[in-house]
Structure 1
Amino acid sequence: MIIVALVANLIGGWFTLGKDDRIVEESGKNIDTIYLNTYVNPKDSTTHGNFEQKEGEVVKNYITKNYMTYVSDTLAPALNIAQEKIDELTRAKFTLEGQLKATKTELDVNKKARVFYENKYMQIVSNTADSTVEYKYNAIVDVVKYQDRKWLLGKENTYIDISSPDKNMKINGVEHFKKRIDVKPKRFGIGIQAGYYYVPAANQFYPGFGVGLSYNLIRL
């Protein structure tokens, strides 16, 4: 029986720790760093960052100490909430690097040159009169969450992919927290049932369909 229970827990996750036990277990692990798998999409040369989502109880156990300071001192107060109220938190770190060619040059009212550098995402104007730069960046970030298995019969895990259609945007880090929410099964359930019933007089089994009421004895 013990072996069956262990196998059931391994494959189906039948028996799980309670919330207090999970907090103790998480606090004893160094899990404040996310492994980010970065790759370049061969179809469009964009850089992607991919990681497996982990769920937990306490925010600080899943993000770095520096970011935790920002969350507790700045982000949570700005939202006027306690950090314990945060259900999901993501910060993606990008680097923007590339090269722009001048697209045109104009003279301002003082006959000083204004040089324009532009593409689909970035617009820059340099002013020789006062040595300033005016810039505008149209940032676009795509976040895709999906389910996948590492092997055919393996556990289905949640993965998150972060990228930008701008090839000059390179993702180089991520902070992520997702609060675990336990959904307990209902005690009672109603469903359609199918099977066979035996008729002693005819000594035969016949197919049967119906609506059945079920009761769950174990409600974890």
Structure 2
Amino acid sequence: MKKNLVITILVLAVIVLVANLFKGWFIPSKNDRIADEYSRKRDSIMLYTWINRADSTLHGNFQQKDGEVINNYVTEKYMTYVQDTLAPALNIATEKIDELTRAKFTLEGQLKAAKDQREKDRIFYENKYMQIVSNTLDSTIKYKYNAIVDVVKYQDRKWLLGKENTYIDISSPDKNMKINGVEHFKKKLDVKPKKIGIGIQAGYYYVPGSNQFQPGFGIGISYNLIRL
């Protein structure tokens, strides 16, 4: 009796799992995900900043969150810019944007003045990234800044068995460039199941010699014939 009950439960479990491939019972629908986002709407990102001891550059680091609706992940001010300026410039609807990032930097530093004897009316300020020329005759300034920004996306866990999360690090090799904020949106994509998988399997197997079902478990390879 107990054996038949176990077999029945296993058969029902297989039926439910197969049906889920077609119906998606255990996978939230897009509308459900949107409703959940609105219930926990946020329009700011916690930016963790740290200084690299090797070169003294300032880094900004944050955990990527995937979602469905852009305005649940960026500030209202930036959303207005995206709708009124950025999306029209790209000739696309905001709903077509799959990923959006804006890093906010402050440039702050000091340059030493230098004069050229051949051009006494001009004063030069220059380093590796910035060049400024001041003209005392017409009170104008010409400037040029060679902006360099590094964006690194990587996977990491907070502890050995923890969930693997996506992080984004933004920095500049110019020590005068200070990151002080970021806006980011990444559209959530439905990941289709892989055709081939490796995992731990448990269940019952039939032993013809004793005409009995015996429990067993092990590591097996599965092949998904139906990949939606």
> TM-score interval w.r.t. the shorter chain?
0.7 to 0.9
Contact 1:50–1:159, Cα closer than 8 Å, also in 2: yes
- 1:139-192: CA deviation from partner (whole Å, max 9, x where unpaired): 000000000001110000000000000000000000000000002226xx4689
5 Å matches for 1:1-220? 15-108=26-119, 113-185=121-193, 189=195, 214-215=224-225
Once superposed, which parts of structure 1, at least 4 consecutive aligned residues long, lie more than 2 Å away?
103-108, 189-192, 211-216
Q: What CA distance in whole angstroms lies between the structure 2 residues aligned with 1:65 and 1:166?
A: 30
In structure 2, C-alpha distance between the alignment counterparts of 1:46 and 1:64, rounded to whole Å: 27
Q: Which amino acid in 1 is paired with 2:170? A: I
Deviation, 1:104, is 3.2
Q: For 2:138 and 2:197, locate their aligned partners in 1 and report how far apart those are by CA, in whole Å.
A: 75
Task: Tell which deviates more after alignment, 98-107 or 144-153.
Answer: 98-107
Q: Which amino acid aligns with 2:151?
A: V
Q: 1:91 to 1:212 in 2, by over 3 A?
A: closer
Counterpart residue type for residue 177 of structure 2: M
Cα separation, partners in 2 of 1:213 and 1:155, compared to 1, 3 Å: closer
Distance 1:43 1:191, change over 3 A: closer
- For residues 48-97 of structure 1, what are the alpha-carbon distances to aligned partners after superposition, in whole Å with 9 as ceiling and x for unaligned? 00000000001111000000000000000000000000000000000000
Deviates more, 1:25-34 or 1:120-129: 25-34
Gaps in structure 2 of 5+ consecutive residues? 1-8, 10-24, 199-206, 210-220
SS in structure 1 at match of 2:141: strand
Q: Which has the higher helix share?
A: 2
Question: What TM-score results when the alignment is normalised by the length of structure 2?
Answer: 0.75
Summarize the Cα distance change of 1:190–1:173 in structure 2 as closer, same or farther, 3 Å threshold. Answer: closer
> What TM-score, normalized to structure 1?
0.78
Q: Given that residues 32 and 62 in structure 1 are in contact (C-alpha distance below 8 angstroms), is that contact kept between their aligned partners in structure 2? A: yes
Q: How many residues align?
A: 190
3-state DSSP class of the match of 1:123? strand
